[in-house]
A = this chain, B = another copy of it.
Amino acid sequence: MASSASHPETLSATAAATAIRDGALTSEALVRACLERIAAREPTVHAWTHCDPEQALAQARALDRAPSAGPLHGVPIGVKDIIDTFDMPTRHGSPIYQDNRPDADAACVALCRAAGMVILGKTVTTEFANRHPGPTTNPHNPAHTPGGSSSGSAAGVADFMVPLAFGTQTAGSVIRPAAFCGVIGYKPTFGEVSRVGVKLQSGTLDSVGMMARALDDLPLMRSVLLGIAPTPIPAAPRAPRIGFCRSISWPAIAPDYQALLERVASNLSARGATVSDAALPAAFDQILPAHRRVMTFEAARNYAYEKTRHRDRLSSVLRDTVLAEGDRCSLEDYVAAILLGERLRDHLNGLLADRFDVLLTASATGEPPAGIDATGDAQCNAVWSLAGTPCITLPAGTGRNGLPLGVQLVGARFADARLFETARWIEARLA
């Protein structure tokens, strides 16, 4: 699909905002183009739980009459349906919340509105951003999963229904679906983006993240969410020092994807990057079980209301696997897992301060699996969720089924701006 003025739905958020600012495009025309794309493709993709064309167009028309309120004025965004909106339902992917209409916007939604963005609608999430899937399909092949839990956000951005969407990540729920759908996914440093109004699975792990089709869009969104000046990504001052991190999940990664990652690493080295091995020490061999203990222990308490009052309306995978596992986890094991995560964070702080600008690693275990009854494996992401580091997945090619593969870049905590720089350097040399 050509990215042109006649197809504004294909523009990046940055390009669309520039066109709106220059008077070459209206928010209304952009939103109308997105809505037409949704009308055409939604019967196949099923990315949305709520999208009311009149509600979206009314916002766009009002913004077209208003002075610019931010760097993405007039640009629409999709909102994962575990994130509250005062004027749309918030159903959490659960039958328990079919009639839920929160009194307030989540902070991240309110910040977008205050910056002049259009809330286009709510996107499909797995049940409570956990494992029980929604109806979304992969835009590249509807017989395959789009990944999860931010399924609709990844699919909607990939399918040109919306240039930006919010996801959330506890294990791999932003990076994995973005990689599966062939778009950019970004999980900020833990704690940077407000989670007020987001249904939390794990206070220790959950981050609000986002999907986009252009790297330039990430610092603009970040400026909206943090209330800081929007700064375009500067050129990296030098070729980056890249730590190639094969460890922990490497045996689980599909051979064609292993080959792609190795190829990317040697290509980047050939283009001037310093690439060396960054395997995690043996002290972190149990980091994946630790992540799982933190996630399930906290989920079993965080979903106390649903677990006790609406038990029969939970999926069996959530009730009998995840929450049951969290109920069985001892407090001692939970605390030990938290402390191992903190040691990992400290280790990575050192590694990314002294030796590397970025870690290069897998975004998932391979291409999106066939079927939409499961959303894939999060083990390549869970380790970084526990560490709280910022992560970006960039589209990096396709696998043997012709479906998307990404590369995941992991930056130093609170150095998201530097991660953008390095990602830009790498992106320019991935092709």
A residues touching B (Cβ–Cβ < 8 Å)? Answer: 86, 97, 99-100, 102-111, 113-114, 191, 194-197, 199-200, 203-204, 225-228, 298, 300-309, 327, 330-331, 335, 338-339, 414
Contact = CB atoms under 8 A, between A and B. Distances in A.
A77 B361 CA distance: 49
B197 A227 contact: no
Which of A99, A100, A107, A114 is packed against the most chain B CB atoms within 10 Å? A107
Given A105-B304, A107-B302, A107-B304, 17 more contacts: A86-B305, A107-B303, A109-B305, A110-B304, A110-B305, A110-B308, A111-B304, A113-B308, A114-B304, A114-B308, A194-B301, A194-B304, A195-B203, A196-B203, A197-B305, A227-B327, A335-B414
B298 A194 contact: yes
Contacts of A414: 335, 338-339
8 contacts: A104-B306, A105-B305, A109-B305, A191-B338, A195-B203, A196-B203, A196-B304, A226-B301
Contacts of A111: 301, 304, 308
Contact of A103 (B100, B113, B300): B100
A107 B197 contact: no
Contacts of A298: 194
A227 B300 contact: yes
A282 B326 CA distance: 42
Contacts of A103: 97, 99-100, 102
What are the 7 tightest A-B residue pairs by CB atom distance, in nearest-first order? A110-B305, A110-B304, A114-B308, A107-B304, A196-B302, A105-B305, A194-B301
Nearest to A310: B104
A227 B105 contact: no
Nearest to A189: B335
Contacts of A331: 226, 228
Contact of A191 (B102, B204, B327): B204
A365 to B, nearest CB: 30
Contacts of A228: 330-331
A413 to B, nearest CB: 9
A111 B200 CA distance: 16
B305 A104 contact: yes
A352 to B, nearest CB: 14
B196 A199 contact: yes
